[in-house]
Structure 1
């Protein structure tokens, strides 16, 4: 090993290396030995210290597309947010959080891989659906949301604000992206949970244009 890595750096190096190999060779065709060979002197033992199996590595890659627990906890702890505003915060963090953007940049092509898509959908539902359901219930109590089936609506919100916008599954142009965003806005508003309010829509537009200009 050429340098001293922190535990977090080791974990990220493993995930980055595996991402490249999964994209180049495919998940099934990539072995733990292949991943070890691509690391900077790290051993097989270092991998198994952080991940029990190759499957747990690809799960780890998928989890990087989701806000980390401390960020979700910080939304939980804010007393100034309504139930609806908490869901809106999760949406914007998932789309624009800098840590998520940086850590997933190398893995974006995996969103074309059926195995990865299945794992990604499972992880995002397991992590975010209970949170969103909780905030829908809170919104029903504080008046910011009116939804009779919180559990099912939480899954619909995830479908409309994440899975539906995955380029590999539902190809988009710039124009169709914003048309889909407007359609999602309409559906959610009419369903009683206005996650993509006009203010949130404007925020998404502004941040996307800002990212485009900075490239």
Structure 2
């Protein structure tokens, strides 16, 4: 290698390189050898030190769309937030966390790939569903949420705030995207879990408008 990398830098270099190749050639057509060839002198052995297989690499790419554990722990420790506020914090972290933004910029086009979208949805459900369900129960106890089926509502919240906004599944213009936000706000509020409240909607619109 031309320079000495930390373990985290090596991992990110692998994920970035693989993302580009998966976008250009497709997941099935990309080999480990292709990924090795695109790295700065990194060996095949070094790749397998971090990832068991090509599948684990694409899973690693999908996981970068999810807040890191320290972020999730920080939200969980906020005793001054009720259950609804914690879910809202998770939504905003998922959309605007700087680490997520930096590490996923090279991978966004993969959200048009059916294989990646399937893995993305699986990883999102495994990582976030238990947390959202936990905070729904917390919200029911503290009065910030009123829903009859907490487990099923956790699934609905996740589907609406993640999968529904994947452009590959539901193509959308900028204007239509903002309309979808308002529709999501309405559905969730009517369901008794006002995740996209007026305050949260204002933050989302403000941040998205500033970035365009």
Which category describes the TM-score, using the shorter chain as reference length? over 0.9
**C-alpha distance in structure 2 between counterparts of 1:80 and 1:127, whole Å:** 24
Q: Deviations over 1:142-178 (max 9, x none)?
A: 0000011111111111111111111111111111111
Match of 2:128 in 1: 128
Matches within 5 A, 1:12-27: 12-27=12-27
**C-alpha distance in structure 2 between counterparts of 1:179 and 1:109, whole Å:** 22
**C-alpha distance in structure 1 between counterparts of 2:51 and 2:148, whole Å:** 40
Unmatched 5+ stretches in structure 1? none
**C-alpha distance in structure 2 between counterparts of 1:44 and 1:149, whole Å:** 48
Q: Deviations over 1:68-107 (max 9, x none)?
A: 1110011011111100000000000000111101100000
**C-alpha distance in structure 2 between counterparts of 1:148 and 1:70, whole Å:** 31
How far did residue 45 of structure 1 move? 0.7
**C-alpha distance in structure 2 between counterparts of 1:43 and 1:149, whole Å:** 50
Matches within 5 A, 1:123-202: 123-202=123-202
**C-alpha distance in structure 2 between counterparts of 1:20 and 1:128, whole Å:** 26
**C-alpha distance in structure 2 between counterparts of 1:149 and 1:60, whole Å:** 32
TM-score normalised by the chain length of structure 2: 0.99
Match of 1:103 in 2: 103
Unmatched 5+ stretches in structure 2? none
* Secondary structure at 1:185 match in 2: helix
Which contiguous aligned blocks of 4+ residues in structure 1 show a shift greater than 3 angstroms?
none
TM-score normalised by the chain length of structure 1: 0.98
Match of 1:28 in 2: 28
How far did residue 209 of structure 1 move? 1.0
